[in-house]
Amino acid sequence: MINIVSIVLSGLVIGILARFFYPGAVHMGWVLTIGLGIAGSLLAGLVTARGKLGQGFHMAGWIASIVGAMVLIFAARLLGLG
């Protein structure tokens, strides 16, 4: 249960930071922001191919997650979803 709560909280923080750093307005609610942060983290994990869950806090992982979420915002805008 603690893992789910930490995933949701980190997804929220990553999603908010991605929306903050992305140029232009990003209109979405809290649930989509959390989903964006979680999906950005998953995308960053797939790209970096680390596959190591629960290895603690690493600044590079957070930065990669934020960049991954920003890529998802860009892709959604290209597809006309956002």
pLDDT at 64: 86
What's the chain's average pLDDT? Answer: 80
Is the separation of the CB atoms in 10 and 41 below 8 Å?
A: yes
pTM for this prediction = 0.77
pLDDT at 28: 81
**Does the structure show a pLDDT above 80 at 75?**
yes
SS3 80: coil
Q: Quick count: other Cβ atoms within 10 Å of Cβ 59?
A: 7
pLDDT at 56: 59
pLDDT at 45: 75
**Does the structure show a pLDDT above 80 at 1?**
no
Give the pLDDT mean for 40-59.
Answer: 68
